[in-house]
Amino acid sequence: MTQTNSSVGIRQLLDMQNQAFIAEGAVSAEVRVQRIQQVIDLLVESKDALCQAMGEDFGGRPAVFSLANDILGSLSSLKHARDHLTEWLGDSVRPSVKPFDMFGASAWVKYQPKGVIGIIGTWNAPLFTLLSPLACAFAAGNRAVLKPSEIAPRTAQVLAQAVAKRFDPQVLAVVQGGPEVAAAFSEQPWSHLVFTGSTSVGKLIMGAAAKNLVPVTLELGGKSPVLVGDSADIANVAERIAVGKSLNSGQLCVSPDVVWVHESRLQSLTDGIVAHYQSLYPSVTANADMTPVVNERHHARVSAYVQDAKDRGVQVVETGAAQAGVDRRLPLSLVINPPQDAEISQHEIFGPAVVLRSFQNIREAVAAINQGDRPLALYYFGSDEVEQNWILDNTLSGGVSINDVVMHPALEDAPFGGVGASGMGHYHGREGFLEFSHARSVYKAGSHDPRREWGMLPPYNEQFAQMLNQAVTP
């Protein structure tokens, strides 16, 4: 197991992996598959210990959610990469340079590993945000160093032990520590750096990476909106939102943050969400099926957002009540039409609360969404395909789910990532393989070079000048 709390130690680890990468040369498909399989095997072997650690880090996160989201979610990414990477490896033949192609010149793009990938995960999905991008990094032939979140220290420790048991640190290693370690980690000259977390920290990560011209993949977040069309089944919308918002108690980067609905249907949607949520969680405090807010700081933050709305006289509907001081579980709070300067309107909620906003015309909602930062996810409910396509054409987000929420990140053969303030780059599928590969253009000359006989070399003649001028066409 590799642990370090200094930039020198991290740099030594990076240099060791870089040297091993150079010494290895071309990375065969068999080696890539083997490395991915080793990660799969350690997850299968350590699943119970990892689920227990995640439960302890959250103060009572249900093991079934950790199993579904982090263990099976990671396994899905890893197995897809393992089973498809041989399809992604081949060279991409391209047209050669004219007129040399007539004399046998050819061209292609060769996809090669970049080297050593640094991956910084986050606490809300402490395994998935490390191992899902790792699947693509390994598929592309790279080596990697993982930096788990210090907010989930038990999970980080169990993962580090599992990795050390199965991997040479020259191939895969884990670095543990707090924000100072993350800062030192982001300053290293990685071949590529992946970060999952908040937009504010993402800016710091990108700034640190820029000092070494390190390319970055940033999976951030934002206030992911839900647009409820007039053609939508409100009962179905209420159930899908209640279920989606309940996952990890809203502590997901793609959790719905703001729900837009026609003013005439606002009350029925509110009532429906409350009813469905209460059927899922009849009680709050000590409910073993409900994930607590991860720590006291985040508990206080989410509670303050809701209290600020109440203090402003905003209608807040809560689904049940929490017993103060017993645990960090909170009821779902529906905050109805808060002003734009309210705290809950200004910040990504990342917890068990959601804003409901009413509109008279759905285009008003789209206009309001487009005034803000680009979200990581956007959701639309409705059966009107004209409206659906108009919304897809007139909004921009990292990804979209239609008639459901929080589902598109599960698409293994489609890119997952953000845009603008919600991030850049992506992983999953072939696009993830390409993200961590260098696309290297190759030109191969033919057996004959006609430039001398065609007057294309000095001393230039008038015939060559005329030929060039004739080539200048609209």
- CA dist., res. 205 & res. 157, Å (int): 23
Label residue 357 exposed, middle or buried (CB < 10 Å: 0-12, 13-18, 19+). Answer: buried
Label residue 399 exposed, middle or buried (CB < 10 Å: 0-12, 13-18, 19+). Answer: buried
State both tokens at 412: 């293994």
Does residue 99 have a cis bond before it (omega within 30 degrees)?
yes
Cα-based distances in Å from 334 to 270, 308, 324: 8, 13, 19
Burial 217-239 (b: 16+ CB within 10 A, else e): bbbbbbbbbbbbbeebebeebbb
In 316-458, alpha helices (H):
343-346, 362-371, 385-394, 429-435
CB 103 within 8 A of CB 158: no
Helices (H) and strands (E) in the chain, counts: 16, 16
CB 84 within 8 A of CB 158: no
Catalytic residues: 219, 253
Side-chain-side CA neighbours of 455 within 13 Å: the count stands at 9
